[in-house]
Amino acid sequence: MKSSKTSKKPALDDGCQLIGSTTVGERGQIVIPKTIRDRLKMKSGTQVMVMQHGDSPIMVLPIEQMQEMIKQMSARVAQFTGKSKRSTR
């Protein structure tokens, strides 16, 4: 029986994988690993937002994806507030 090796990246939790590491350069620049750039369709010149809340890790998101996420969240909030107004009548 053959043993099969898999090169699966270590999972940190559901949906979160350790993809690689990078080093902060002398001007504060980092290189986003190619695997992630490919997955997010990031090319040279892609604008990103860098966010941090309190002491939490930083998040780097392409601005277009952030705009779409905010749009979807706003729609959810509108649905929720619309339903709650109806239910209080």
Per-residue pLDDT of 55-83, as tens digits, reads 988 888 889 888 998 999 999 999 988 86
Per-residue pLDDT of 52-61, as tens digits, reads 989 988 888 8
Match 């209080």 to its residue by tokens.
88
CATH architecture, domain 11-87: Ribbon (2.10)
- Cα distance between residue 9 and residue 40, in whole Å: 18
DSSP states of 15-41:
TEE--------TTS-----HHHHHHTT
Compute the Cα dihedral for 9, 13, 16, 21 and give only its sign: negative
